[in-house]
Amino acid sequence: MSTPTSTYPRLFIGGSWVEPSDPELLDVISPHDQSLVGRAAQARPADIDRAVAAARASFDAGVWRLTPPAERIAVLRQFNALREANAERIADLTSREGGAPRWFTRAGQSGLTRQANAYLKAAEEFAWEQTLAPSGPGPGPDSAPRVRSVVRREAVGVVAAVIPWNSPFSSATSKIIPALLAGNSVVLKVSPENSLTMGLLAELLERVGLPEGVLSVVPADRATSEHLVSHRDVDKIAFTGSTRAGRRIASIAGERLKRVSLELGGKSAAIILSDADLTKAVAGVKFGSLLNNGQSCIAQSRILAPRSRYEEVVTALKDLVESLKVGEPSAPDTFIGPLISPGQQERVREYIRLGIEEGARLVVGGPQVPEGLERGNYVTPTVFADVDNSMRVAREEIFGPVLVVIAYDDEDEAVRIANDSEYGLSGGVWSRDEEHALAIARRVRSGTVTVNGASVAFDGPFGGFKASGIGREYGAVGLGTYTEYQTITV
């Protein structure tokens, strides 16, 4: 077993590294070969209580909430620059800890910059306070309008931000940056699998000079997470994760009337129209459906192909998947790395077995572990054809490198199949006619739809329809979800 390269024996609570209530450290294991990547302390309910108390005290005292927006923006801009300066270190640790290919974790750093810059721009232009034109009569006999309204955007309070393991830096910054820009105090709860990368995040945030108590970053298990979101001193819950967990969090928020935003699962469709450039569409599937080893909520894992070109699409996808290098995440030519854990590996393999049992045609792949990679959490990338949209492999989020190809007869049927899902997070349309693709995209009931592989825009709202979530992230809309309106009439 290799020597650990990262150790975080303390918890980052209220801006300081403190001794955990439980001194036992978690071993963080490499998904590639089960070697030891590092060790980290884990939060228990007593530690959560301490973090929430620090957040509550700092918020009520106004040490950050009453700081002018321009000063808050300057602090978060400093953090963004510090993160950029540590991009290589972040990418390396994220890859070793989570199994994502190294090229992907490095390329993702530019996305983090665009995400942060969109929030910072939104904060600079945000209507933190505005006075409305006088309206309505004042009291007394004088009926002339003399009531004016001051409308303010006030911080919500103490925010519990809970994120998943599949894209830790993106999920973390998509919540803490707008929450802090709005003046909130934040307890960021991260997955045990991300204990090391999120320890590094805490190191960077420690250096930007946030007031005491404003921010905590704590890895914890599910039971401790529920203690956090149920805490009476938490005002808002911001969650990214599974739809099942989201339902539980929504019920807790409803019982306690906490503000809540949820970015949940997906089973998104890529609609390949009959006139599409198939070479470009298949390249788009590579990056839109299989990035991060298929462990992405926005993965377009249902490929909808016109019956007139169905076998052509299936063959092209077969060739694509067979060309992808599966292996060690650090290798520059690796496209598919290991899944996050043995449990996730077995879950995906079980879905592949299920697809075969349901009668789908196995085009490439299968439940076998790739040869020579048996020590890691590897899954053979798989394509199923002859899939009916009623099959479980077409309806349930697999969260791995598994694609299903569904035939349609006309565009109305393609839209119907795309919308025939409990989810509505992402989607794509491919066509040589951009305006026609846009018209089809408008009919898809999904929070984000890309045309011909366009990248997600961080200045526009991101989130889901239906069981894919409540609320939106990114840009001005995402910033606004961390504020309350206050109207003062004078």
Q: Domain coordinates of the chain in residue numbers?
A: 6-264+468-489, 269-458
Cα 191-194-197 angle, rounded to 5 deg: 140
> Do residues 99 and 339 lie in contact, with contact meaning Cβ atoms separated by under 8 Å?
yes
**pLDDT above 60 for 3:** no
233 is written with which tokens?
């001193």
Pairwise CA distance, residues 163 & 295, whole Å? 14
User: Mean pLDDT throughout 204-221?
Assistant: 97
Check residue 134 and give its pLDDT: 82
Check residue 4 and give its pLDDT: 53
361-364 and 382-385 beta bridge pairing:
antiparallel
Helices and strands counted in the chain (H then E) = 15, 21
User: Mean pLDDT throughout 339-365?
Assistant: 98
Q: Indicate the pTM of the whole model.
A: 0.95
Pairwise CA distance, residues 103 & 137, whole Å? 64
Pairwise CA distance, residues 106 & 87, whole Å? 7
How far from each other are the two terminal CA atoms of the chain, in whole angstroms?
69
Check residue 1 and give its pLDDT: 39
What is the three-class DSSP state of 381?
coil
Average the pLDDT over each of 26-40, 143-157, 293-307 and give the range with the smallest value: 143-157
Check residue 314 and give its pLDDT: 98
Active-site entry in 297, 328, 411, 473: 297
Amino acid at 52: V
Check residue 432 and give its pLDDT: 98
Q: Which CATH code for domain 269-458?
A: 3.40.309.10
Check residue 281 and give its pLDDT: 97
Residue 322 annotated in active site:
no
Residue 2 binned pLDDT confidence (cut-offs 50, 70, 90): very low
Radius of gyration over alpha carbons of the chain, in Å? 24
Check residue 46 and give its pLDDT: 98
CA torsion 409-413-414-416 (nearest 10°) is -160
Check residue 147 and give its pLDDT: 85
User: Mean pLDDT throughout 464-474?
Assistant: 97
Residue 144 binned pLDDT confidence (cut-offs 50, 70, 90): low
**pLDDT above 70 for 14:** yes
Check residue 457 and give its pLDDT: 87
Residue 297 annotated in active site:
yes
Check residue 151 and give its pLDDT: 96
**pLDDT above 60 for 138:** no
Residue 345 binned pLDDT confidence (cut-offs 50, 70, 90): very high
Residue 133 binned pLDDT confidence (cut-offs 50, 70, 90): confident
**pLDDT above 70 for 189:** yes
Name the nearest CA neighbour of 465 among 254, 268, 212: 268
Instruction: Pick one of 3.40.980.10, 3.40.605.10, 3.40.1190.10, 3.40.50.300 as the CATH number of 6-264+468-489.
Output: 3.40.605.10
**pLDDT above 60 for 270:** yes
Is 6-264+468-489's fold the same as 269-458's?
no
User: Mean pLDDT throughout 80-101?
Assistant: 97
Q: Is the dihedral of CA 287, 288, 291, 294 positive or negative?
A: negative
User: Mean pLDDT throughout 310-318?
Assistant: 98
Instruction: Quote the mean pLDDT of the chain.
Output: 96
Name the nearest CA neighbour of 449 among 392, 85, 461: 461
**pLDDT above 90 for 430:** yes
User: Mean pLDDT throughout 23-38?
Assistant: 97
> Do residues 442 and 464 lie in contact, with contact meaning Cβ atoms separated by under 8 Å?
no
* Residue 390 burial (CB count, 10 A): 9
Active-site entry in 263, 328, 397, 411: 263
Q: What is the pLDDT of residues 244-265, one digit of tens each?
A: 999 999 999 999 999 999 999 9
